[in-house]
Structure 1
Amino acid sequence: MLENLSNVIYQSNNIHSNLLQQLADVDTQLSEKSLLLNRFKDLASQYESDINRLSFIIESHTSISTIENSGMCPICNNELPSDSARQHVDSFETDLELIVRKIKSLNQTRLDFKIDFSLLQKQKEKLELQRICVADEINHILIPDEKN
């Protein structure tokens, strides 16, 4: 009887230790994913700033192109080169398209990470419940009810 009880406690303790290790692993993964999600959020903010900046530059160059048609700068009355603004606008539009593609890809990656994060949280909750049950079982064996 005592040997059987000892085996049950030993097995339960091993299960409890295993659950604690799994919880630690899940916590590590959650920390890593949380850190990456924060970095992705910062990167998305940077992309948004880049989009706003490039959009502003494109709009301003488009507005300047009407001035270039006159051939003279309205501020200093110097002659303006005729084709320089269009070359810049093309380059900025290409950069803008690239950033838009990057932000779409980043948003999908962020969504995938959020789903993974949510699944890990659910896994942690499940492991924690299992750990509590095993700990209660161990406590019940070591400190039996007084009713029995």
Structure 2
Amino acid sequence: MIVWTMRPYNVYLEIMDKGEFFCNLDLSINLKDDNDFLRAYHWMIQQMIKKIGVPSKGETYPIWTWYRSHDYKHQRPDFRWVRDYISGQIEMAEDKKSRLRQKSNGNEPKIQTELDNLTKQLDEVSALVTDKLTKSKGLFNQMSKLNDNLVAADVTLSRYESVKGQYVSDIKRLSFIVDGEVAFENIEEPLLCPVCGQPVINVESETKHVEAAQKELSRTLALLNDLEQATSSLAEEKLSLQKRYAELEKESDAIQIKLNEKLYPRLDKIKTAEKDYREQIEVVSKVKVFDDLLGKRTSKINELTDEGIP
């Protein structure tokens, strides 16, 4: 069976000298560096063993050959189509490379320097934002505690007002008792009993409840005075809490304004610029890949030319 293949000239010499040629895995870039390529060839080896048999040299790799030409005829293939295909790939790569260069100024060191500066600025602004957010959180915690204290003060003042109403009611009642007894004692004519018509004698023992009422009245007045002082003190404390709350709220609003109007916009601007420069570096990297690809394909064209393909 006659087959055709493309090999370096030294392979031809080896075949002429030894009468055979085997694939050297160490010299095959695809088999050595591409795992998917290697797995595909292992699968082909297994299929060939099933259909052809075990190779004479043990485990070896198949060599790509042509039994028919490009037009499916059993004749020497015209490998110029390979050259034309590679030339087309080179043109496509050149076109892509040209379009990529239009997106980049090509000065990779300058781009990297600018990116490093932006990264530094991004770290600085991010640190400022973090600091402001930490302060804002601390202010919020302080305001929450002050708000709890204000709520507690309002509840206490409400209770004070309720107790004060009770004290005032007790004072009125006790004052009525004491004032009534005084008025009774100042009556010059004896008070007659409505039943028997005899004068009512003011017995000393009957005045004890008045003394008790007077003592209770004095105690209640003292309690009311203490309550009013406590109410005044708590009202001043509440006013101080409200003032401090307003100061913290103002400080918190100032931080939020600085974040919204200065730091956040600056941060977004830096991130956008950083993204642009990273895309520039990616473009430069792709250009290098195309340069390498073009170099390999140009070398392939040169190999085909050296082998006599016009």
**Normalised by the shorter chain, which TM-score bucket?**
0.7 to 0.9
Which residue does the alignment assign to 2:264? 142
**Counterpart of 1:33 in structure 2: which amino acid?**
A
Which residue does the alignment assign to 2:153? 33
Return the offset for 1:65.
Answer: 4.2
Q: TM-score, normalised to structure 2's length? A: 0.43
Q: For residues 87-142 of structure 1, what are the alpha-carbon distances to aligned partners after superposition, in whole Å with 9 as ceiling and x for unaligned?
A: 11110000000011111111111110011011001001000000001111211211
Q: Return the alpha-carbon distance in structure 1 between the equivalents of residues 246 and 172 of structure 2.
A: 42
Q: Return the alpha-carbon distance in structure 1 between the equivalents of residues 191 and 255 of structure 2.
A: 83
**Counterpart of 1:87 in structure 2: which amino acid?**
K
Q: For residues 68-92 of structure 1, what are the alpha-carbon distances to aligned partners after superposition, in whole Å with 9 as ceiling and x for unaligned?
A: x94753x333866612431111100
Unpaired segments ≥5 residues, structure 2? 1-120, 267-310
Fraction of identical pairs, as percent? 22
Question: Which residues of 2 match residues 105-120 of structure 1 at below 5 A?
Answer: 105-120=226-241
Helix, strand or coil at the partner of 1:143: helix
Call closer, same or farther: CA 1:85–1:63 in 2, change over 3 Å.
farther
**Counterpart of 2:175 in structure 1: which amino acid?**
S
Return the offset for 1:52.
Answer: 0.5
Which residue does the alignment assign to 2:94? none
Say whether 1:7 aligns with 2:127.
yes
Say whether 1:124 aligns with 2:245.
yes
Q: For residues 16-52 of structure 1, what are the alpha-carbon distances to aligned partners after superposition, in whole Å with 9 as ceiling and x for unaligned?
A: 0111111111111001001111111111111111110
Let me know the Cα RMSD of the aligned residues: 2.0
Q: Return the alpha-carbon distance in structure 2 between the equivalents of residues 90 and 37 of structure 1.
A: 33
Q: Return the alpha-carbon distance in structure 1 between the equivalents of residues 191 and 249 of structure 2.
A: 74
Q: Return the alpha-carbon distance in structure 2 between the equivalents of residues 76 and 97 of structure 1.
A: 36
Say whether 1:103 aligns with 2:257.
no
Moved over 6 A (4+): none
Count residues with an aligned counterpart: 142
**Counterpart of 2:254 in structure 1: which amino acid?**
C
Unpaired segments ≥5 residues, structure 1? none
Which residue does the alignment assign to 2:195? 76
Higher helix share: 1
Q: TM-score, normalised to structure 1's length? A: 0.86
